[in-house]
Amino acid sequence: MAQVLGLIILSFFITGILLVPFIDFLYKIKLQRQVQKTKDMFEKRTPLFDKHHAWKVGTPFGGGVLIIVVVSILTLWAYGMFGILIKPWELFVLLFSFIGFGLLGLYDDVKKLVNGKKASVLGLRFRHKFLIQWFLAFIIAAVMYTQLGYSFIFIHGFGLATIGILYVFFAAFVIVSFTNAFNIADGLDGLASGLLLICLGAFLAIASSQLDDALGVFIAVLMGSVMAFLYFNIYRARLWLGDVGSMSLGAALAVIGLLTGKTLALAVIGGVFVIEVGSSLIQILGKNFLGKKIFHAAPFHLYLQERGWEEPKIVMRAWLLGFLFAIIGLYLAFIKVG
């Protein structure tokens, strides 16, 4: 436990020291939010989002790049430094999901620098990115099934349920779902990164109870780095994750939950993310198949903004709800069956 706490502190200070010059670098290369017309996954305009976030034009994004670099290097260093054994394929799953989804998000961020006709050539529509997400997720899920022996899910009250090859489809669905859930929740300053810290704290407790030092090291390093980022991300943010960060961290959270075998706990601990993506999905399905909105606005944090809630109020109360979900999720993870 002392090693884990030390890694959190070390990761926090390394990331924190690098963040200030990194923010200056982002300003220098002009990786900043531009005036834009946001669209949903069906390429339809979302004017309410633009209305509430117009003042954020000029804020740099891409903080996820620094998190990915620091966490990847520091994690590998920690495994060697402390002599922690990790299965090669488990390391592959952690870093491939973390870096692979980050690269997909990075492409989306970089193309925002391109204006005019070139943007339509270089840009990927959501449906294309969605397919790539599934492709990456199936690779990760297949490795977990064939190389790490994962073919089960833990169901509270029943124990482990073996589902065989269906695990590949199940795990891929979890990864894609949380990747997009995190991306959707990353719409308010400090919302997604603060919720992630809560989730990581819960899964660090689960990994420690399972004596999974290898996973615990990755979680600890990630916690420290995200904590330092959150200092600059709280309202009014000086830096945002960008798609590179939101996709990377969403996929990483899903894989962490899958590797612990506590998938139900993942859905509960990440309950606010589930609410965000669920409300957005219901709204989109309503507009496209019923021809009307189900909610006045979606995702849920945008609905609260339309109701007149101030951004910090929404974020703080979401964090409190996240703590409650984490406690319930830990209860479900630790309670003995029968």
Pairing label, strands 152-155, 159-162? antiparallel
Count how many domains the chain has. Answer: 1
Per-residue pLDDT, 10: 97
**Buried b vs exposed e over 17-41: b needs ≥16 C-beta within 10 Å?**
ebbeebbeebeeeebbbeeeeeebb
Those residues whose C-beta lies under 8 Å from the C-beta of residue 254, and which sit 6 or more positions away, are: 97, 174, 175, 177, 178, 179, 266
Walking along the chain (338 residues) 10 residues at a time, the average pLDDT comes out as 91 97 91 63 54 69 95 96 91 97 91 54 72 97 96 76 93 97 94 97 95 95 98 93 95 97 93 95 85 83 90 96 96 76
The distance in angstroms from the start CA to the end CA of the chain is: 30
- Tell me, what's the pLDDT at 50? 60
Record the tokens describing residue 64, joined without a space. Answer: 């996820």
Positive or negative: CA dihedral 109, 137, 196, 229: negative
Domain range spanning residue 121?
2-334
| Statement: the pTM of the whole predicted model exceeds 0.85 | yes
Burial of 205 (0-12, 13-18, 19+ CB in 10 A): middle
Cβ contact 271:133 at 8 Å:
no
